[in-house]
Structure 1
Amino acid sequence: MKIHKIIIGSFLFVTAQFTAIAQTKQLAEADKLFNTRAYALAIKEYNKLISKGETSIDIYKKLGDAYYLNANYKEAANCYSKLIMPDLKNSDSEYLFKYAQTLRSNGKYDEAEKIMLQFNKIKQQDLRASKFIEKVNYLENLKNIKQKYILTNLKSNSVESDFAPSFYKDTLVFSSARDTGFLVNNVHEWNNRPFLNLHSAKKDSTDFIHLGSFAKELNTKTHESSTAFTKDGKTVYFTRNNSENGKFSPDKNGLSRLKIYKATLENGKWTNVTELPFNNDDYSVANPTLNYAEDKLYFASDMPGTLGASDIFVVAINSDGSFGIPQNLGAKINTEGRETFPYISESETLYFASDGHPGLGGLDIFYINLQQQNAEVSNMGKGVNSKQDDFSLIINESKNEGYFSSNRPKGKGSDDIYRFTTESISTNVNGKVIDKETKKTVANATVTIYDYENNNLIETISDENGFFTTEINLPEKKYRFIAKSNGYTDAVKYIYSPKNSTKNKEVILELQNSEEATAVGSDLTNYLKLKSIYFDTNSSYLRVESYPDLDKVANYMLENPTVVIEVGSHTDSTESDTYNLWLSKRRAKSTVKYLVSKGVEQSRISGIGFGESQLLNKCKNGVKCSNEEHAVNRRSEFIIINK
C-alpha cells in the first residue's frame, strides 16, 4: 500500500510538473502575441490560462489592455477591477486611470470620479489628472451644452469596420474592413477583423451610397486608412503599414508600424507613392490632415518626445514640397493618454479624438481653435460623443455638417460613419468703434461682418455713441469685423463664436487716423494689409502670388505722387550671414524693378537688403527654431521715407 502511494504521488508530481511547464509555455506564447499586438489571439490564450487557474496580476493587466485596445470596455473593466486595491492607494496608477475610463464607458460615472480623485492624489503632475481636476464638473457642463446634433448612420456602412472619412471632390473616401477575400491571412490578429482598404461613397439625394474600392492601385495586403486630399484633388496623403512589395514589413520586435505616404494623380491613376521623410521603422506616424492653406500637415504619432500613447504633431510643408521638422502640439492638447485622428477645419479649428481629456468614455472628440491665443480644449458634447469610442471627425463649417466614426451600440458594424448636422443658435455681438489714439467713440462708422469664407454676411452702422449690435450664428466660426470711416484706416477684428455658449460677445474696433498710419517712418505693409512677398527658395525671382500685393503698393504710390519709399528685404538665419545679405539685396532689387515696371518713378523708390541682421525673434545662428519661427523673419517692408 505504501508503494502504491509513492507511485501515485510520484505520478501526480510529474503530472503537475508537466502541467506547469505547459502553462509556462502557453503563457510565453500569449505574451508574445500580446507584445506583437496580436490582441485578438492573445485574448483567447489568456482566457485559456485563467480557465486553468492562472490568476496573476500580469495576466489580468495584459488581458485588460488587449480588451481595452479592442474597445471592449466591459471586459476590460472586469479585468482592471481585479487590479484595484480596496483602499485604492496601493493600486497601479496607470490602471486606476484605465479602470476609470472603462467605468465611464459602462455609464458608471460616480465610481469613475472616485477612482479619478484617487488617481489625482497619486499622480498630481499627470496632465490627465490636472485636466480632470480643472474640469471636475465636466459632466454637468456637458449637460448645459446648447448645441444639438442630428445624426444619420450612412447607408454606405457595412457589417465590418468603416471609419476615417475624408472629403474628396463630391465623394467621401473612408477606410473599411469589408474586403474579406478568401485567405485566412486577410484577417488581422489585432482585432480578428479583415484588413483595411480605402473605399468611396457618393451622395445621392438623401444619403451616401457605397461606390466600391477607391483607387485599387493604393490598396495592398496591408492596412490603408486615413486619407487627406489637397483641394485640387491631385495629391493624397494616407496611412499604411510599413510594407515591402505590398506586404507587412515588421521591425525587430515583430511590429509593423504605421507610416504616412503621399501619392499624386496622373492620367486618372494614383502614382508616385512615396513615404514621408519623418516616418520611422521604430514608431508609428498616422492619420494625416492638411490645414486650409495646405502648408502644414498634422498627424498622430508615438515618436520620441510623445507625452502619451500617441500625440498630435504638425510639420511645415515648404514651398518646394519638402518638409520641416515635426513639432509636438504640446501639453495644452496632448496628454499621457491617446490623442489621435486630427482634423483642421477652414477656421483653423483642430478637432481630435482623446481619452486623456475628461470625456464620456473611450475616445471622445474635442476641439480647439488654433488661432485663438487663450482658447481651451472643449468637448463636442453628447450626440457626437457617447460612452464608446468616437473619433475621426471631419466638418464642413459653412454647411454646418460633418462626419465622424463611432462604435456605439445599434450600429451596422464594429465602427460606423455617422453624418451630423447642427442646429443654428444665435448670439448677440455688442460692439463699439473708437479712435485708437483718443479712445473716443466714432459715430456713423460702417461695420461689415464676414465669415471665414469671406462672405459678406451683415453690414451695420455705429450709432451716435459709436455702438452697434448684431447677431451671429453658432456653431463655432471665425468672423471678421471691418470698420470704415472717413479719415481713418480700416479697423479689423476677428472673433470666434464658441460652440457651447450663447453668452453675448463684445468687440471693440479701433480706427487709426490715416495720416498717422502713413506718416514718415511707417510701413505700408500695415496700412495696405500686405501679405508676405514670396520668392522661390534661395532665389530672387518674385512668385506670382506676390503680384497682387505689390500692385497695391504701386497703386498707392501712383495715387500719392510725392511719397518716397524704401524697400527693405529681410531673411532668416538658416544660411550663412554673407549669403543672406547677398540674397536680400537681390530680392530688394527685384521688388524695386517690379514697382518701376508698374509706372512708379525710379527716383521715388530704393531697395536695401538687411539679410539676417534685424531678426524679430530668438532665431539667430545656432538657435534651433521651427520653420514657422524662421518664417517670421522672412519679410519685406515698404517704409515711407519722405512725403
Structure 2
Amino acid sequence: MKPKNYIIINFFLLISISLFAQSGTQKRADNLFNKFSFVNAAKVYHELINNEYNINYATRQLADSYAYMRNPEDAVIYYKKAVQQDNIPIEYYYNYAQALRGIKNYKESRVWLEKFKNAGGIIKTDRFTKDSDFITSIFNAKPQYFLTEVNFNSKYSDFGAYEHDGNIYFVSSRNKGVSIKHTYGWNKEPFLDIYAAKKNETNNNVTYKSKLKGDINSMYHDGPITMTKDGKTIYFSRNNFNKNILGKDKKGFTNLKIYQASLVKGKWINIKELPFNNNDYSNGHPALNEDENKLYFTSNMPGGIGGSDIYYVEINKDGTFGSPQNLGEIINTTKNERFPFINSEGSLFFSSDGHPGLGLFDIFGTVADKNNNIISVINLGVPVNSSKDDFSFFMNNDGLSGYFASNRNGGIGGDDIYAYDRIPQLKIEGTVKDAILNTPLVNVIVTLLDGNNKKIATLKTDKDGYYEINIDRDSYYKVDVKKDSYTTESKMVNSKNIERNITSITTNFVLDPDKIEEEEELISMTKPSPIYFDYNKSNINTNSSIELDKVIHLMQTKYPNMLIKIESHTDSRGSASYNNNLSIKRATNTYKYLLSKGLNPERIIEHKGYGEQNLVNDCDDTSTCTEEQHQLNRRTQLIVVRMD
C-alpha cells in the first residue's frame, strides 16, 4: 500500500472511531449524572463540548453538575451559555437565577427570575426551596422522579425494598397464612420478617411462603437487608435476638443489632452477630458500598451528633470489621438520620428529620467532590418526599428506577413501598440499509440538526448499520444520512408530547445507490457487468454474489420483462477440454445462484460455457501475462436478450 493511501485510510478510520466513541461518551456521562456522580459526569460533559458533540445538551448538563457540586461560580458560566440557546426549557432561567444568587449577584438573579415567571414558570413555596442552599432549589426546579404502582403492599407495614438478580427483597409485618401470630406491643402489628418475590411475579398474594428460608427470620423484628453481589451473603437488622435468647439493655429495652447470614442450598443459615454491636444501643439499616469493603448503618451509639446518626465500618479482606466511623455533620444533624443506601457510583442516600424538608422524615441524596468527600445534601423533593415519613430509598444500577417507603396518605397499610422512575433520556435510533441488497450500510455519516438546521452532532453507523444519539424531549430535529455512491436522505423527527416511558424514536433509512453508478457501472441496459472467478474455481464468491444480487433486484423491480442468457469463460491456462468443462460449471453455478434468489428460470433462456474460446485480451498460450490480465478472462457475462 502506498504511504499516502495508508495515511488517508488511517485518518478516516480515526474519524470513524471518534464518532462512534462520542455516542458512547454521552451515554456514560448521563449514567454518571443520574447516579449523582456529578464530578465524573462533569469531566465527560467537558469532553463532549471539546469534541463539539451535542454541545447544547452537554452544556446544560454541565451547568447542572456544577450547581449540584456547590460550585455556583462555574455553574453561572454554563447556565449563561445555556439560556442563550434556542428553545431552552424555561427551568434553566430559574436555574441561572439560583446560581446567580449563589454568587450573591442578586440584581441579575431577580432579572432571570422575572423572565422565568414571564415565561410561565411557577415559583414553589415549599420549605426546602426557600432555604439559602441554591442547589436544592435547582434540583427541584423540574420534576426529577415519578411514581409507579407497586402491587405487593399489604394492609400492614411494608418497606425496605431491595432488588437483586430479578428478586425483590422487602420487609413486611403481614402475617397471612401464619398459624401463630406474634404482635409488636408498640403498634399492635405483627413483627417484621424478610420476604422475597420474583420481580415480575409480585402481587398482593405474597404470603408466608415468600419469607426467606432458613434461620434468618425470627419471632421478633428482622430486616431490612443489604446483599453482596454474588447473592451469597446478607447483612440484616434484627432485634437483639440470637440462639433463642432475647437481649436487653440496662433499662430492660431490646435494641437492634446487625447480623450476617450465608446462603447454603437455598437457605439462609450461619447467623452471625457483627462484632461492633452493643446491648446498650441500636445498630441497624445496613448498606454495602459497591466495592463491598464498607458497611454503612444507623446507630444511636454514644458520642454521636444527634438521636441517631449514620456510620460506616471498614470490611477487611479477611472478613473482620473496623471501628465505626461517624459520617460527620454534613450528613448527621442534631436529630435523626437513618436508612443509608449507597448506589453503584458511591453516592449516599439517606432519610432525615433534621435537614430542611417537606415533613417528618425526608429522603436526601449527597454530592461528593473529586476526592469523594461529601460536600452537599439534596432533598429529593416531591413526589419522593411528602408531609409524612419517607425512607428506605433504593436505586437500581440504571440510575433511573428504584423503590422507597412512606406512610403518606392514600397508602394501603401503615408503611407502603413505592416504585419510582426518572424520565429516561430520549434517543433517536435506527438502521441504514442498501435499497437493492437490503444489507446494513457501515460508516454512513449521520448528522443531527435542530429545528433551525443547526448541526448538533455527527456520528457513523456501526457494522450493523445502526446509529443512536440522545436528544431532548419536546423539540424538532432533522436527521441527515450520507454515504459516497448513495443518494443522501433526510427525515424530520418530532419529540414533542412523547410519553415519558418511551425512550427511543426509531428512524430507519434505506439508501439507493447513486443513479449514475446504477445505470452506468452496476448494470447498463444492454451490458451488465461481468462477474469474475478465482483461478481454477467455479464457485460464486462474495464479490460475484453482490453483483448478481444487484442484477436480480433490477430484473425483479425495474425490468420485470428482461430476459438474459449466461455465458461463462476461462483463461487460456490448462487444456481446452478441461477449460470447457470448467466454464460449464461456472455457467451452471451462476444459473443456480440466480434461481436460488427467486429469479424465474423462464427469464434465463440459456446458460453455456465457452472454455477459452473468447478471450478479452491477448493472453493465449503464446503470451506471458500477469495474474490480473488472466483474471479478466475468468468471467461470466449476463447477456441481455430483451429489455421490455
Q: Which structure is larger by alpha-carbon Rg, 1 or 2?
A: 2
- TM-score of the two chains, using structure 2 as the length reference: 0.44
- TM-score of the two chains, using structure 1 as the length reference: 0.44
